[in-house]
Amino acid sequence: MSRIFCGRRTLAALSLGLATLGAQAAPVQLRVTVESLVPANGISFAPMHVGFGNGSFDAFNRNSVATAPIISVAEGGSASPWFPAFAAAEPGATLGTVAAAPLQPGGVFMNTFSVESAVNRFFTFASMVVPSNDFFVGNDDPMEYALFGAGGALQLASITVRAGEIWDAGSEAFDVANAAFVVGGNNDLRTPQNAVVDFNFAELAGFNGLTTATGYVLNSQLRAEDEILRFSFAVQAVPEPATTALTLVGLAALGFTARRRRHAGTTAAL
């Protein structure tokens, strides 16, 4: 009996070793889905920018003056300064955009990213709320969403964002006429707010009745507890042909050895 147990332990240890080797050898293919949970004619979101990093890039802080990268996201939806700032802080991070077009009420977008999951364990997102002067969604704490465990395995299936978590960048004063993404608005006439980043969703109701750039009349309908976004995460199974073949050969050889040992043990017992 002891010989059989020894064989199983060896088998388990070798399988674990091969699995670990496979995880370290290749990044995971992570499918990210973003859904708008906003009711019809409510707010939309500009392109949804995302990053998978080690948790050291912190784009903004509540009650502090917004940085240029987050102002660019909040006032115009652009990640042109946000991506380089992220990459400068974390050269190994995976950066991209889930929804390249505006995410309208009820809309869904999906994209797949190659992520070194044992290193880049944390998920960060940033997108402008439209219409608005300088409202955005994003995580203040870069370690808020630990998608992957220390070993690199996916441990978060989804996250949701509520209306009460919408930010005002504090950089542009509320001004319906000069907001971005409103028909007839002139964003070049915006006025500085000289304030700090803080929660604010109530101001969005000030845009009610205006036609947005995506062609519908806004009715924000938001309460703080309303869920407005859901991100879902799934690791795509991509078998490594060489690793799989090696595993199968290894398992077959071990199974053969275990059978021989079991047979030998049985014979000895008799």
Residues that bind Ca ion (CB under 5 A): 58, 61, 133-134, 140, 168, 193
Q: 212 or 247, CB closer to Ca ion?
A: 212
- The residue (of 30 and 218) whose beta carbon lies closer to Ca ion is 218
> To the nearest whole angstrom, how small is the minimum distance from the Cβ of residue 96 to Ca ion?
21
Decide whether 61 or 219 has the Cβ nearer to Ca ion: 61
**How far apart are CB 72 and Ca ion at their closest, in Å?**
14
CB of 17 to Ca ion, least distance (A): 39
How many other CB atoms are found less than 10 A from the CB of residue 19? 12
The CB-of-240 to Ca ion minimum distance in angstroms stands at 37
Nearer CB in complex with Ca ion: 115/129: 129
DSSP letter string over the chain?
Answer: -HHHHHHHHHHHHHHHHHHHHHHHHS-EEEEEEEEE-PPTTS-EE--EEEEEE-S------TTSPPPHHHHHHHHH---TTHHHHHHHH-TT-EEEEEESS-B-TT-EEEEEEEE-TTT--EEEEEEEEESBSSEEEE-SSTTS-B-B-TTS-B---EEEEEGGG-EE-SSB---GGG-BTBTT--GGG--B-----EE--GGGGGGTTPBBTTSSB------TT-EEEEEEEEEE----HHHHHHHHHHHHHHHHHHHHHHHHHHHHH-
Measured from the CB atom, the residue of 36 and 133 that comes closer to Ca ion is 133
Query: Distance between CA atoms of 198 and 64, rounded to whole angstroms?
Result: 8
> Measured from the CB atom, is 35 or 134 closer to Ca ion?
134
Rounded to a whole number of angstroms, the minimum distance from the CB of residue 251 to Ca ion is 47
Q: How far is the CB of 93 from Ca ion (least distance, A)?
A: 16
| Six token digits for residue 22 | 């496979």
Question: What distance in Å separates the CA atoms of residue 103 and residue 124, rounded to the nearest whole number?
Answer: 17
Q: Minimum Å distance from CB 58 to Ca ion?
A: 4
Nearer to Ca ion, 64 or 80 (CB): 64
